[in-house]
């Protein structure tokens, strides 16, 4: 085995964001770029000698090349074994499961998630720790520091492995096992949900449309929904993972999953529609002419999870990211279980799940999951909904209406302003942050500010402090505005403006969210002087 030690220099900007390092694909393909970061991961772990890793990605352009490089570098750094998904494919939740199932030392997941793929689009890489979850802040900081001090990396001279062939191979002295990316994950889903009841519902004529958006969940949807649950062939559309996702933007929301939206609002619509993102950790759930906002989905799942066999014993607790609506808080209070509020990003849920304090977690960004893995999980959420519908014999719209009538409705929307000039966006948030102490008591479009702060989080398990996680302004009537900048984009700045207003019912539960939120939206624009700083009056994407 010939190990080559390659001299290199630190490359600026190798700082992981909300979910790993994401850059333009061309940046990742630059000389030494991927290699530096991978070596930094191994160095931050104290070396790879004798270790086992799971490696896979969402199949986007450069996925296969990157995997061959990572395998050669793992071998050169003395790793004992790597488990790789066939074709280089592993959804993010499936990778998390394999890390846990095989008790490995972690995993490397290649994805830029919901960002488009291709030579001129985005690529990404993230390290997951042995619990199967995204590396916490302490680990990503260590990787960043290692990348900033890098002088050399190690790689073996070896042929590519055959990613298409399941079974044992090797790179140098390191064992490589190519595995079916779907089987273990599908088996796990069968332990959590009542497949017999879902199968019977489908056999009785219940129709499903699942849009995999030419990304990683195609093979998972086909195996689980069609092969194991008996949905007719063709239930899963855009089922072939493609390097450029067929030119789609694999972000499961009403804007980017338009084909699915049209079908669900069309004549003879299916009973249930769902879509997932590039790497399979997000989900959008729809009924016939019914959109389930992700925050509401989390709350409905919390209230009904006991109907699924894997959760029949109830939930230890729930957690949501700070910008996610308070709908789940109301369910937690009704159930008498704790509810935690964390910064944006799944890495903040890991400690709570590991400590057994929460079972269910969710984010407003179409992410829901439980402690069955340590990532959010798109197909899991789809199966949870199917299990709930089968157990209750109700439609998506009926479940949602029933939920609002019991708990009230948290009207919610996120407005994204994309491709802003980064400096202007930062100036705007800095100005708003500076004004926060003076806001309480002031009135904006008929709403009086009750509290305003910059969100900081102290992890209740390890005591670590994470500051500056979003500006929040809460009004006396319970309405709320949150502003933060995206940490997953690859060009310019994206402002995320989160808007919420609670209506207890019984009246006023059926409004259009944008109408119900109109005064909150107007207040947000004025408070931040959005137009003055960015020149923008309307968002690019509304979810
Ligand atoms: C976005 C979402 C956040 C999510 C993150 C990763 O981050 O808002 O809730 O955890 O993406 O999801 P940001 O910093 O751009 O707001 V994924 O499916 O891209 O791994
Ligand atoms: Co994702």
HEC assignment per residue over 20-64: EEEEEHHHHCCCCHHHHHHHHHHHHCCCCCCCEEEEEECCCCCHH
CA torsion sign, 403 to 404 to 408 to 409?
Answer: positive
Ligand lying nearest the CA atom of residue 486: 1
Say what the pLDDT of residue 1 is. 75
Does ligand 1 lie within 6 Å of residue 490's CB atom?
no
115 alpha carbon – ligand 2 mean position (Å): 9
The ligand 1 atom nearest the CA atom of 321: 9
- What's the whole-model pTM score? 0.95
Q: Which residue has the tokens 């910059």?
A: 454
Say what the pLDDT of residue 530 is. 95
Query: Which helix H or strand E contains 66, and what residues bound it?
Result: helix 63-76
Say what the pLDDT of residue 491 is. 78
445 alpha carbon – ligand 2 mean position (Å): 36
Residue of 19, 96, 111, 113 marked catalytic: 113
Ligand lying nearest the CA atom of residue 346: 1
Q: Is there a catalytic annotation at residue 424?
A: no
**Could you tell me the end-to-end alpha-carbon distance of the chain, in angstroms, rounded to an integer?**
52
Residue identifier of the C-alpha nearest atom 20 of ligand 1? 113
| Integer angstrom CA distances of residue 361 from 77, 162, 329, 410, 449 | 36, 37, 12, 18, 29
Task: Give the model confidence (pLDDT) of 296-319 as tens digits.
Answer: 999 999 999 999 999 999 999 999
Say what the pLDDT of residue 373 is. 98
Q: Which two tokens stand for residue 436?
A: 């926060």
Q: Give dist(CA 127, CA 41) in Å, integer.
A: 7
Does ligand 1 lie within 6 Å of residue 324's CB atom?
no
Does ligand 1 lie within 6 Å of residue 104's CB atom?
no
Say what the pLDDT of residue 505 is. 86
Name the residue among 267, 235, 293 with its Cα closest to residue 498. Answer: 293
Say what the pLDDT of residue 490 is. 78
Long-range contacts for 259-266 (Cβ within 8 Å, ≥24 apart)?
259/211, 260/209, 260/211, 260/284, 260/286, 261/286, 261/291, 263/209, 264/209, 264/288, 264/289, 264/290, 265/289
Residue identifier of the C-alpha nearest atom 13 of ligand 1? 486
pLDDT in tens, the chain (543 residues): 799 999 999 999 999 988 899 999 999 999 999 999 999 999 999 999 999 999 999 999 999 999 999 999 999 999 999 999 999 999 999 999 999 999 999 999 999 999 999 999 999 999 999 999 999 989 999 999 999 999 999 999 999 999 999 999 999 999 999 999 999 999 999 999 999 999 999 999 999 999 999 999 999 999 999 999 999 999 999 999 999 999 989 999 999 999 999 999 999 999 999 999 999 999 999 999 999 999 999 999 999 999 999 999 999 999 999 999 999 999 999 999 999 999 999 999 999 999 999 999 999 999 999 999 999 999 999 999 999 999 999 999 999 999 999 999 999 999 999 999 999 999 999 999 999 999 999 999 999 999 999 999 999 999 999 999 999 999 998 899 999 999 887 778 999 999 999 999 899 999 999 999 999 999 999 999 999 999 999 999 999
Contact 39, 69 (CB under 8 A): no
227 alpha carbon – ligand 2 mean position (Å): 24
| Integer angstrom CA distances of residue 156 from 31, 40, 69, 81, 189 | 17, 17, 9, 15, 38
Q: Which neighbouring-strand residues pair with 339?
A: 318
Name the residue among 396, 271, 204, 182 with its Cα closest to residue 196. Answer: 204
At how many degrees (to 10) do helices 327-335 and 396-407 cross?
70
| Integer angstrom CA distances of residue 32 from 121, 160, 243 | 19, 18, 22
Q: Where does residue 358 fall: left (phi above 0), alpha (psi -120 to 50 degrees), or beta otherwise?
A: beta
Q: Which two tokens stand for residue 258?
A: 């338009």
Say what the pLDDT of residue 492 is. 84
253 alpha carbon – ligand 2 mean position (Å): 12
Does ligand 1 lie within 6 Å of residue 293's CB atom?
no
Ligand lying nearest the CA atom of residue 20: 1
């Amino acid at each position: 085995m010939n190990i080559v030690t390659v001299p290199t220099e630190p490359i600026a900007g190798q700082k992981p964001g909300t979910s790993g390092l994401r850059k333009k694909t061309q940046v990742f393909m630059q000389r030494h770029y991927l290699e530096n970061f991978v070596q930094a991961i191994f160095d931050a772990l104290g070396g790879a000698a004798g270790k086992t890793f799971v490696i896979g990605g969402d199949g986007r352009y450069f996925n296969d090349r990157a995997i061959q490089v990572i395998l050669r570098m793992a071998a050169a750094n003395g790793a004992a074994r790597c488990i790789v998904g066939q074709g280089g494919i592993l959804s993010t939740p499936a990778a998390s499961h394999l890390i846990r199932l095989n008790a490995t030392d972690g995993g490397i997941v290649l994805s830029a998630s919901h960002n488009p793929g291709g030579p001129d689009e985005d690529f990404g890489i993230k390290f997951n720790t042995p619990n199967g979850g995204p590396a916490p802040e302490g680990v990503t900081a260590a990787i960043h520091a290692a990348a900033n001090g890098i002088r050399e990396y190690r790689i073996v001279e070896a042929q590519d492995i055959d990613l298409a062939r399941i079974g044992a191979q090797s790179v140098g002295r390191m064992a490589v096992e190519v595995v079916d990316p779907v089987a273990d994950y599908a088996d796990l889903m069968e332990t959590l949900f009542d497949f017999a009841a879902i199968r019977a519902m489908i056999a009785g004529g219940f129709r499903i449309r699942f849009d995999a958006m030419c990304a990683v969940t195609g093979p998972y949807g086909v195996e689980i929904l069609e092969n194991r649950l008996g949905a007719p062939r063709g239930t899963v559309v855009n089922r072939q993972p493609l390097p450029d996702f067929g030119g789609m933007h694999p972000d499961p929301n009403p804007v980017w999953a338009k084909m699915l939206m049209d079908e669900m609002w069309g004549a003879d619509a299916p009973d249930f529609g769902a879509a997932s993102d590039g790497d399979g950790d997000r989900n959008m759930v729809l009924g016939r002419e019914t959109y389930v906002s992700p925050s509401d989905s989390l709350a409905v799942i919390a209230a009904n999870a006991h109907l699924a066999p894997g959760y029949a014993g109830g939930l230890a607790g729930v957690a949501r990211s700070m910008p996610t609506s308070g709908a789940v808080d109301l369910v937690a209070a009704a159930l008498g279980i704790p509810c935690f509020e964390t910064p944006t990003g799944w890495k903040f849920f890991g400690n709570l799940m590991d400590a057994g304090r929460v079972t269910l977690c969710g984010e407003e960004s179409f992410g829901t999951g439980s402690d069955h893995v340590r990532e959010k999980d798109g197909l899991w959420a789809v199966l949870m909904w199917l299990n709930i519908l089968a157990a209750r014999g109700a439609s998506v719209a009926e479940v949602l209406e029933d939920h609002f009538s019991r708990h009230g409705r948290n009207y919610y929307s996120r407005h994204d302003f994309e491709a802003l000039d980064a400096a202007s966006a930062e100036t705007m948030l800095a100005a708003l942050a500076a004004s926060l102490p003076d806001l309480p008591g002031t009135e904006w479009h008929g709403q009086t500010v009750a509290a305003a702060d910059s969100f900081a989080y102290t992890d209740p398990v390890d005591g670590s402090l994470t500051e500056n996680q979003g500006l929040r302004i809460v009004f006396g009537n319970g309405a709320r505005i949150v502003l933060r900048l995206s940490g997953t984009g690859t060009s310019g700045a994206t402002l995320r403006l989160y808007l919420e207003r609670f209506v207890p019912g019984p009246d006023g539960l059926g409004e259009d969210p944008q109408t119900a939120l109109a005064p909150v939206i107007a207040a947000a624009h004025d408070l931040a002087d959005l137009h003055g700083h960015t020149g923008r009056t309307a968002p690019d994407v509304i979810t």
